[in-house]
Amino acid sequence: MKFNTKTIHGNQHPEPATGAVMTPIYQTSTYAQSSPGVHKGYEYSRGENPTRSALEAALANIENGTHGFAFGSGLAATDTVMKTLNPGDEIIAMDDLYGGSYRMFTRIYAKYGLNFHFVDMTNPQNVLEKINEKTKMIWIETPTNPLMKIVDIQAVVELVKGKDILVAVDNTFASPYLQNPLDLGADIVMHSATKYLGGHSDVVAGALVVKNKELAEKLHFQLFAGGGILGPQDSYLVLRGIKTLHVRMQRHCENGKKVAEFLSNHPKVENVYYPGLENHPNHEVAKKQMRDFGGMVTFTFKSEKKEDAVKFLETVKVFTLAESLGGVESLANHPTTMTHASIPAEKRAELGITDDLVRLSVGIEDIEDLLADLEQALG
C-alpha cells in the first residue's frame, strides 16, 4: 500500500463480531476466561486492550515497523525507552530538543546514574567524539524543537553500525507522513501522538515503533510493568486522527511554506527557521530524508526584544497562543516562557533560544487568513 492508503487501511480491519468499520471503544478493564489462564488473548487492559491493539498495529504500519506501542503521553513513551537502560550507561542526545525531554534526562534519569551528553548533531562528528564503551543510545530529534535543525539520521546510524548502541528518533515534528526513521536505520521511533497523529488537540498520547523483536519484548515489558498505557477512548481518537493524517499534512506543508516565505520577507523579522527554505543550513539533508517540510516555523525579531514577541503573541487572532502543536488549528508559542522554560536560561542562550523567539504551528486554515493575521499582529 502507498502511504495515503495505509493511514486508512494499513493493519486495520473491520471488527469481526459485528463487521463494524471503525474499531469500537472497548471500555473494559478485564475479560472473561473460560478456564484459569484460558482466554481470547486478553486478560487485563493494562496488558492488552482491543482498541489500543488496533492503534498499535496502525502505528507500526505507517512507520514501517513490526511492533507499535501506545502510551499515555509522549513523555511516557520516552520514559519507557530510558527504563531499558542501566545505571552507568551513557546517552548522546541532540542539544536542541523538546524542553520536557531535557527535563526528564537531566532532572530524573541523571540522578539514577544515566549520563547524558548534549551535542549539535547537525555535525555527525560531534556524535562520534562522544562515543565510548559506555555509550548505549543516541537520542535524535529532527526537526528539532524549537530551532528546526535537521539531523542526518543515516549518517548518525553509520557511526554506530556494529556497536551495541541503539538509535532512537523523536519523529514528532515530521510525523510518519514526512519521515520514517526506521527506514533510515534507526532502532526506535518515538512520537508525541498528541500532535500530528491525533491532529485535533483533543488527546494526549505517545507512541513507540520498532522492528526488532527482542527490543519490542523489552519495551512491552516496561509498558506492562510500568503501566503508562493509553486508554481505549484516547486510543480511538488517535486511530481516528491517523486516518486523515495524509490530507492534513499536505495542507500543513503548503501553509507552512507560505508562512515561512512571508516571514522571510517581512521587515520586522530577522531569522526564519524552516527547513523548506533554501537558506536553511540543513536544507539539503531535509530534502534527502523528508518528503516535504512540515508546518512548524520559528522566527525572531530584528529588534531582538522580548516585548515585540509578547506583543505579537497577544495580538494574533487566527493563531491561538497556546502550548502544543500539530492540530488542525494554528498555534503560536513563546518557547522561553512556555515549552522550554524548564531549560536553564544560560543553556537556552547557548543554543540560540532567545526571548524574542516565536514558534508557530501552522494549521490547515485558509492561507490568506493566516497571512493576514500575521500581517496585522506584526504591524
- Residues 163-199: pLDDT tens digits? 999 999 999 999 999 999 999 999 999 999 999 999 9
Write down the catalytic residue from 98, 102, 196, 236. 98
pLDDT of residue 114: 98
Q: Is pTM, for the whole model, over 0.75?
A: yes
Per-residue pLDDT of 340-355, as tens digits, reads 999 999 999 999 999 9
Question: What's the rounded Cα separation, in Å, for the pair 298 and 263?
Answer: 10
pLDDT of residue 104: 98
Write down the catalytic residue from 170, 187, 355, 356. 170
For domain 246-378, give the fold. Aspartate Aminotransferase, domain 1 (3.90.1150)
Strands (E) across the chain are located at 67-71, 90-94, 115-119, 135-141, 166-170, 188-192, 206-210, 269-273, 296-301, 320-321, 331-333, 358-361
Known catalytic residue: 46? yes
Known catalytic residue: 195? yes
pLDDT of residue 41: 92
pLDDT of residue 112: 96
CB 319 within 8 A of CB 370: yes
Segments in the chain below pLDDT 50: none
Determine the CATH number of domain 3-240. Answer: 3.40.640.10
> What are the start and end residues of each CATH 3.40.640.10 domain in the chain?
3-240
CA atoms within 13 A on the CB side of 39: 11
Our measurement of the distance from residue 219's CA atom to the centroid of its chain's CA atoms, rounded to an integer in Å, reads 18
Q: In Å, how far are 29, 222, 235 from 206, measured between CA atoms?
A: 20, 14, 10
> What are the start and end residues of each CATH 3.90.1150.10 domain in the chain?
246-378
What interhelical angle do 213-226 and 74-82 show, nearest 10? 110
Our measurement of the distance from residue 275's CA atom to the centroid of its chain's CA atoms, rounded to an integer in Å, reads 16
Known catalytic residue: 170? yes
Write down the catalytic residue from 195, 211, 257, 348. 195
Write down the catalytic residue from 46, 218, 240, 287. 46
Radius of gyration for the alpha carbons in the chain, expressed in angstroms and rounded: 21
pLDDT of residue 260: 98
Question: What's the rounded Cα separation, in Å, for the pair 327 and 339?
Answer: 16
What is the 8-class DSSP label of residue 317?
S
